[in-house]
Structure 1
Amino acid sequence: KSKCNSAALVELNNHAGAAISRLKKIHPPAHIIIISPRHKMFEELAGKFSKYPEFDRTFNHQKNPQSMDMIQEKGESSNPMHKE
Structure 2
Amino acid sequence: MPTVLALAASQSPAGRRGCDLATVVAGLTGAAFGWRAAFLLVGAFGLGCLAFTRTCPPACGSCWATSWSRRVWRCSCASRPR
**Shorter-normalised TM range:** under 0.3
More helix by share: 2
- TM-score, normalised via structure 2 length: 0.22
* Structure having the higher Rg: 1
